[in-house]
Amino acid sequence: MEIIPTKSTTHTFSFLGKGSEYAIIFFKNLLLTILSLGLYYPWAKVEKLKYLYQATEFKGNRFTFHGTGKEVFKGFIKVYVLFVSLYLFVIFATATEMAGMAAIAVLVFYGAIILIIPLAIHGSARYRSSRSSWRGIHFKYFGSRKEMYQLCVKGFLLTIITFGIYGHWFQVNLKAYIAKHLKFGNITFNFTGDGLDLFLIHLKGVFLSYITFGIYSFWYMRELYQFNIQHIELYQGEERIKTTFNISAGDVFSLIFVNAILIVFTLGLAAPWVATRTLAFFINNLALEGVFNEDDIQQEAIDDYDDAAGDDYLDFFDLDLL
Amino acid sequence: MRSFNIKYFDGKSSKPTDAKLTVYPSYWKIIIDENNSFTNDIRWDVPNIKPSKVYTKNLKSFSYGQYPFQYIECKDALLISEIEKHAQQKRLYNKVDLALHKFTLKSIATLALLIVGISVGMYFYVIPNVAEKFAQTLHTNYVGEFGNFVFNAIKSELDINEERSEILQEFAGHLELNAEFPLELYVVDSKDVNAFAMSGGKIVVYSGLLDKLTNENQLAALLGHEVSHINNRHVLRNVSRDLSGYIFLSVIFGDINGVTSVFVENAHLFKSMSYSRDLEQEADEGGLELLYENNINPEGMLELFQILKEETKIEDFGGIEYISSHPLVDERIKYTKEQIEAQTSTFVDNKELKNLFIKLLNRN
């Protein structure tokens, strides 16, 4: 018989990665990337993700990243071809020396880059979810490409018209859309943040940081992290499970301060240690709170999505969904 | 045969099951409950097993088959040595990775040294040489097109004096300059004391500099210097070296982090400035040769430097050679003097050049 928990309890995550272990992977990948003039990047990315997932533990078991170098390589080629053709287009358009052609070409170039972003977000969310599992149960993103497109176009336009103010609502809507269309087996997600709250956090944060010569910025970042994480909810059947992220401004300070010292004084060689410290900060402080039964998550129909192009596209701009 | 304690997941539910794993040459056997002979043993055929491929010291994980995967986790470090016994299972572990993770600190140090060594070699030797070779062997037509492309982009910002440009063109026509490209000369109305050459034969002289010149030898020296830049494809060489070096560095250090890239970019700037100083010296020397070939008094070059020296005195940059793209004028005077002293030559006054020079000054 299974024991069904009825009491709300706290369930913590732990990050078990070590800087020295990750440094081997990091430097090996860097070496191979240099020797291959960048072509090794897809395999490097996969090994990095596999390590970081596997170093993350919940209830005694680890996460797994199932992506392969081949999948990421195919996506990488698509992104590469796209950028090369966009550049060639601009160069040829400029070379025609026709009046206004150069301006049109540049407009098309940036237009294309922006219009592809919603597709990339959709693709990245599907690929990463499909390739991530814990205890053999997979994530699944089932959002629609069309809705994502509408959301982004509306978001971009309103953000421009309102001089950036709507950007906060846009960000929140985007997170909510992704969360509502994400599943982990039969567990569903929700994001309850509100655009106005995010706007006020930024407004207060910038103002107070300014008048305290930056000292308030640690409280500001703490609020921002908590806003982004603690508004995520999980549902197991009828049970609502909340996420908590209990950190102090001092924790934020020591994360950022020590990271900066490590990078500056080692000319960047400490990058792998900085990466593991940072992940440890986020993962070790993350917890689920509620009536939750980790042994009773059922696998649902899996979305076997192997197109990594969207994910690679976002890499290109250093954007990371997770 | 050894068996290992594992956690088994069937890919249908998140419920963990304690199990025992035994490794056979062509398959793995997973036994869920040793005491119950009614449960079926699970068989994993080696070709369908997927290793996690990363070996954290305290955990190995494998998945099996098609979506949804069966999945196992094992904390026993000896599992890998058991797999190593079977030749068919080579795919499931990586000897290099195992070795690297065995000697953690030594591995990190070796890898870091290799990265530094190879990057230094690539950056200082391989990449500049390949880039130079490329610039030197590129077909004349392409070099010309590249020059036109750049020149057209900046042309609208230049206040070109057509009349004086024509005279300057005629002046250059009377010189034997052995140019690889047909030369196009422009006089630009500007207070700046400057002149520059572009790929594919374009030379721009600012009126600010032109009006400071006092004889035709100085102008010939100036053109000699600029033509020497063009003949040696200096712009293209500089651009291709600079760009390829920059791309290489951003590939490596862009991967590390922002702070490092700032350090590296500044170092790169210093290096490319020192390279352009070398190119300037090469152009000074080439320019002087052209004066000799045209029987023009080489003192024109020294006088030109003197004019530049007066100018820099007024502006006073503080004279730190390391952060300048041109060598210090004194330095230029010194090596040019040495070159002149080492050579004997005859020179004659060129009436046509003199007349054109006077005409040029009068159109001020």
Q: What is d(CA B148, CA B199) in angstroms, rounded to the nearest whole number?
A: 8
The predicted-structure confidence for A222-241, as pLDDT tens digits, reads as follows 999 999 999 999 999 889 99
Q: What is d(CA A277, CA A15) in angstroms, rounded to the nearest whole number?
A: 9
The predicted-structure confidence for B210-266, as pLDDT tens digits, reads as follows 898 899 999 999 998 888 888 888 888 888 888 888 877 776 666 555 556 666 677
The predicted-structure confidence for A273-297, as pLDDT tens digits, reads as follows 999 999 999 999 999 999 999 999 9
Q: Which one-letter amino acid corresponds to residue A80?
A: Y
Q: Which of B343, B345, B339, B340 is nearest to B295 (CA)?
A: B345
| Residue contact B115–A298, C-beta within 8 A | no
| Residue contact A136–B11, C-beta within 8 A | yes
Is residue A296 a contact partner of residue B15, using CB atoms and an 8 Å limit? Answer: yes
Token pair of B275 as six digits: 């390279």
Q: Is the pLDDT of residue B75 over 70?
A: yes
Nearest by CB: A54 against B56, B114, B259: B56
**Out of B56-60, B284-288, B330-334, least confident range:** B56-60
How far off is chain B from A199, nearest CA to CA, in Å? 27
Specify whether domain B3-102 bears CATH 3.60.140.10: no
Query: Which residue ranges does chain B devote to CATH 2.30.29.30?
Result: 3-102
Q: What is d(CA B327, CA B209) in angstroms, rounded to the nearest whole number?
A: 18
Chain A partners within 8 Å of B256 (Cβ): 30, 268, 271
Selected residue of A1, A16, A20, A21 to mutate for chain B interface (largest B Cβ count, 10 A)? A21
Q: Kindly state the DSSP code that residue B40 receives in the 8-state scheme.
A: P
> Strand A137-141 to strand A182-184: parallel, antiparallel, or no bridges (unpaired)?
antiparallel
Nearest-by-CA chain A residue for B16 = A295
Q: Stretch B83-104: mean pLDDT, rounded? A: 85
Q: Is the pLDDT of residue B39 over 90?
A: no
In a 3-state reduction of DSSP, which class is residue A138? strand
Band the pLDDT of B193: cuts 50, 70, 90. confident
State pTM to two decimals. Answer: 0.77
Q: Stretch A154-162: mean pLDDT, rounded? A: 93
Chain B partners within 8 Å of A274 (Cβ): 257
Residue B68 contacts A, CB cutoff 8 Å: yes
Nearest-by-CA chain A residue for B114 = A31
Q: What is d(CA B58, CA B96) in angstroms, rounded to the nearest whole number?
A: 18
Q: What is d(CA A277, CA A258) in angstroms, rounded to the nearest whole number?
A: 9
The predicted-structure confidence for A97-127, as pLDDT tens digits, reads as follows 677 777 888 888 888 888 899 999 999 999 9
Nearest by CB: B257 against A16, A28, A268: A268
CB within 8 Å of A23: residues ≥ 6 apart: A272, A273, B108
